[in-house]
Amino acid sequence: MSRLVLFQQTLRLMLLIMVWPGSGSAVAQEPERFMSLQLENDFFANSGDRYYTHGTQLSLMKLETPPAWLDTVAGWTPFYQPGSDGTSNLVQYTVGQKIFTPNDTDAAHVLADDRPYAGYLYVGIAVLSHVSSHNNVDTGNLFEITLGIVGPSALSEQTQTSYHDLIGIDSPAGWEHQLEDEPAIGLMYSRFWRRVQPLSAGLEFGVNPHVSTSLGNVYTYGATGVMFRIGNNLRRDLSPPNIRPGFPGLPYFKTGRAHSWYGFLGFEGRLVVRDIFLDGNTFSDSHSVEKEWLVGDMQYGVVYLLGDMRIAISNMVRSDEFKTQSVRTRFGAVNLSLSY
């Protein structure tokens, strides 16, 4: 059996296990659904093929009772709180892929001072609970479990080279030195706050602080940050989705006939204990570089909502992630979210 066929079968099994409803039941006969497609690429920031060069994430968030096993596991986390009525009612299912390359993609040999080639393919399930709403401040929790694979079976080499062939440019030459296959597991918890303050002429100003933590063999870190927003009808959403690590956005938004918009500027700082894409494989020898323990993100962009659709365009500037990094990581993101 080929590696591709084996991984496809494994991925189907993982998805089946993660969406199995258990003893949970739907909150409504026709629960609302929110589909989100997130595309992140250094091309959008005109920064060339380097470092975190591409990410794709497809998410489905449903208004429903989470599987009983997920509610139980989420309840084990020290800071997790269920919804104010004792239940949680938004569940998110995710599949995604990430691609990493060094700065010099023309070299066919290992570049000791440059980051490794790496690919990551994953599925995830998350539960969102609404804790409270008081004095214009909303508070919520997001708990997520991800399973996946790092290495050749993530098919990131095939994704990148196929796209480069399609647009007629040379592909990176060093993929044979990418990280080895390694099963991936991650647990993530985020707590966030949203405050909206009316201004004048229909404008509102919003402040969204958050804290996050991640534990696993791919990412282990603690983070805190804040996002500032200005626009109208800011309570229609929290912020657009991001591929982690990053700000805790959601596919969910409130639909409506009137259009609304906002601009945003966010900052996040992370204390990074483990990043497999820099530290290398956990259980085998591989190329690695010395990572920076403190990493910061700045993200800015615009969001437009109309009816059952939300469109977000943003750019991210990330501080150096490893000691010998030659330029800052920059990438752009486009998100399309639909309610149906």
Cα torsion 220, 42, 57, 28 to 10°: value is 100
Domain assignment of residue 68, yes or no:
yes
Per-residue pLDDT band for 9 (boundaries 50, 70, 90) equals low
- Strands (E) across 217-255 are located at 219-231
Find the mean pLDDT for residues 312-330.
96
In the chain, the percentage of residues whose pLDDT exceeds 70 is 89
pLDDT tens digits, one per residue of 243-291: 999 898 999 999 888 899 999 999 999 999 999 999 999 999 999 999 9
Per-residue pLDDT band for 22 (boundaries 50, 70, 90) equals very low
Per-residue pLDDT band for 310 (boundaries 50, 70, 90) equals very high
Find the mean pLDDT for residues 175-184.
96
pLDDT at 25 over 90: no
> For residue 53, how many other CB atoms are within 10 A of its CB?
23
Q: Domain limits at 330?
A: 3-18+32-339
Question: What pLDDT, on a 0 to 100 scale, did the predictor assign at position 83?
Answer: 61
Question: What pLDDT, on a 0 to 100 scale, did the predictor assign at position 30?
Answer: 41
Per-residue pLDDT band for 39 (boundaries 50, 70, 90) equals very high
Domain assignment of residue 24, yes or no:
no
Give pTM, 2 decimals. Answer: 0.88
Residue 229 · residue 206 · CB < 8 Å: yes
Question: What pLDDT, on a 0 to 100 scale, did the predictor assign at position 87?
Answer: 57
Domain assignment of residue 225, yes or no:
yes
CATH code at position 324: 2.40.128.140
Per-residue pLDDT band for 32 (boundaries 50, 70, 90) equals confident
Per-residue pLDDT band for 86 (boundaries 50, 70, 90) equals low
Question: What pLDDT, on a 0 to 100 scale, did the predictor assign at position 88?
Answer: 62
Per-residue pLDDT band for 45 (boundaries 50, 70, 90) equals confident
283 contact partners, CB below 8 Å, separation of at least 6: 182
Domain assignment of residue 26, yes or no:
no
Record the tokens describing residue 63, joined without a space: 């208004």
Number of domains in the chain: 1
Domain assignment of residue 288, yes or no:
yes
Domain assignment of residue 164, yes or no:
yes
pLDDT tens digits, one per residue of 182-217: 999 999 999 999 999 999 888 999 999 999 999 999
188 contact partners, CB below 8 Å, separation of at least 6: 126, 142, 143, 144, 145, 146, 212, 213, 214, 215, 244
Question: Mapping DSSP to helix (H, G, I), strand (E, B) and coil, where does residue 337 land?
Answer: strand
Find the mean pLDDT for residues 161-175.
86
Domain assignment of residue 25, yes or no:
no
Domain assignment of residue 210, yes or no:
yes
Question: What pLDDT, on a 0 to 100 scale, did the predictor assign at position 208?
Answer: 96
Record the tokens describing residue 155, joined without a space: 């098919």
Per-residue pLDDT band for 170 (boundaries 50, 70, 90) equals confident
Question: What pLDDT, on a 0 to 100 scale, did the predictor assign at position 281?
Answer: 97
Question: What pLDDT, on a 0 to 100 scale, did the predictor assign at position 136?
Answer: 78
Of the ranges 17-31, 65-79, 259-273, the best mean pLDDT one: 259-273
- Biggest CA-to-CA distance, the chain: 64
Residue 297 · residue 246 · CB < 8 Å: yes
